[in-house]
Amino acid sequence: MKPYKILSTLGILCFFYLNAFSQPEVKKESSDKDLSLFRQFFQIFPLKNGTTTVDLNKKLQKFQDIEITPIGFGGDLHWWIFSGENTIIDANILSYENHIVMVKATIYQRYIHRLKSILNQDIKIQKKFNQLFALKTNVKYFNDSVYQYTYTNQPLLVEFDNHISEFLGRQSNINFDDCRFEYELLNNPTERYQYVPSDSYNNYPPDNAINKLQKENRFDCFLNIIKGPSLYGRIYAIEGLLISAYNGKYTLSEEDKKLIKTVLNLNLRIDDGSRHPKANLQYNSCIDKELLKVLDDNFKVNEGNIYPIEERPLGPVEQNPEFKGGYEEMLKFLKANIKYPVEAWSAGIQGTVFVQFVVSETGKISNVKLLRGIGGGCDEESVRVVSLMPDWIPGRTMGKAVKVMFQIPVKFALPTIRAY
């Protein structure tokens, strides 16, 4: 390591050390806001089996929903932020066919040192916190120490896994005790991290996981992860397996090649780490072209789709469809046409509705359906207005207009309506 890197690292460590032991006492006003956060959180969690995204969304109206990311095969990853004054709970929630499968709620290291003084002010909240949240101190985590609450609807997870296996094959029963952390990091669908090429980022947990699996020749783990439910894990595992094959450490079977090609043809997008909300990568553009030659010198992503038509009637898209006149014109259209439902207004219901639809090769809107709602008539109103939209500019791949599935959020806020 270069000297300046060592000094930089020491400086960061000293900062965190001093920061952890020199924080002022949390003021009562701000601690009250944090206690209020936990009270609201514990009114919602733990979840009951059978909870739907609509049910959960109604309960989470006071909190910030960041985004919904399709992970394939009817699954979606929902990202929520629960904010107090000194505490933030970051929640990743997996749904399958609009039912909650898994929850991972995390309080990161920078908030932990304040928790004790906050929780000491309310014994009931403290007891509930200790029941639900567990301290994770594994140094391989993104942060050295985190508190986490996790929930899994095991029967529904099995159903989701079985559905995925219809397309990608069933995961094998393998012994991964010697690499449990790496395997679970990459195979867990509630893990959210960015995709960056393996040679462009140092000491990044997913890359570390891939490197260890490569060193241990755990190609069986790679294949299992590729068949699994993790949006990011699949791509990292494909990259790891292809690098191993490229370096002559593993020989891909025809079945392996077919599996990888199938996954690369999924119409999914992932965060590329650029921090720009629309700057993300199509699955098929993540892998270096040189590595793809291991599959086939002439391998190209197909324009067809491997999803059942009723699920994802799309092929890979290079250029997304667009409302004519652009984003601002779409806002104007929504604001001009949405009427706040009387039922929602009277009940004080507000929040964000997510609507999904298909933009055809000619730009026509079809197959409009609710992806996540808040009730009170807002869901139906959002679907109604989106169905009224004029023709869009269609999406394109290789210069050809293609059918694209799209989704937009519509926000209802009292006393005004904002749609974006």
pLDDT in tens, 158-173: 999 999 998 899 999 9
- Whether residue 9 is contained in a domain is answered as no
For position 111, what pLDDT does the model report? Answer: 79
Structure-block tokens of residue 92: 């990743």
Domain closes at, from 113, 130, 156: 156
Query: Is pLDDT above 70 for 364?
Result: yes
Specify if 319 maps to a domain: no
Q: How far apart are CA 390 and CA 250, in angstroms?
A: 52
Residues 62 and 149 in one domain: yes
The dihedral region occupied by 361, where left means phi > 0, alpha psi between -120 and 50, and beta the remainder, is alpha
365-406: per-residue pLDDT in tens?
A: 988 888 777 888 998 999 999 999 999 998 876 678 888 777
Alpha-carbon span 59 to 49, nearest angstrom:
16
Same domain as 148, residue 211: no
What angle, 0 to 180 degrees and rounded to 10, lies between the N-to-C axes of helices 219-226 and 254-264?
Answer: 40
Q: What is the DSSP string of 289-301?
A: HHHHTTT-TT---
Q: Are residues 177 and 288 in the same domain?
A: yes
Residue 63 within a domain = yes
Looking at the fold, whether 140 and 193 belong to one and the same domain comes out as no
112: exposed, middle or buried (Cβ count in 10 Å: 0-12, 13-18, 19+): middle
Mean pLDDT of the chain: 79
Do residues 264 and 146 share a domain? no
DSSP string, 288-351: -HHHHTTT-TT----SS--S-TTT------SB--B-TT-HHHHHHHHHHH----HHHHHHT--E
- Alpha-carbon span 156 to 405, nearest angstrom: 25
User: In which domain, by residue range, is 347 found?
Assistant: 327-419
Where is the domain boundary, 122, 156, 190?
156
Q: Are 98 and 131 members of one domain?
A: yes
Q: Does residue 300 fall inside a structural domain?
A: no
Q: Which two tokens stand for residue 300?
A: 């190209």
**Candidate from 5-14, 116-125, 285-294 with smallest mean pLDDT:** 5-14
Tokens 């890359």 belong to: 207
Asked whether residue 317 is assigned to any structural domain, the reply reads: no
- Strands 280-282, 269-271: pairing is antiparallel
In a domain? residue 20: no
pLDDT per position as a tens digit, 279-321: 467 777 788 878 888 888 666 554 433 333 233 334 445 677 8
For residues 184 and 221, membership in a common domain is answered with: yes
| pTM as predicted | 0.66
Residues 121 and 36 both lie in one domain: yes
Do the domain assignments include residue 414?
yes
User: What is the pLDDT at residue 16?
Assistant: 34
Strand partners, 372: 354
Indicate the number of domains in the chain: 3
Beta carbons of 216 and 225 less than 8 angstroms apart: no
Note whether 144 and 221 are same-domain residues: no
148/34 same-domain check: yes
Q: pLDDT at residue 278 above 50? A: no
- Whether 250 is in a domain gets the answer yes
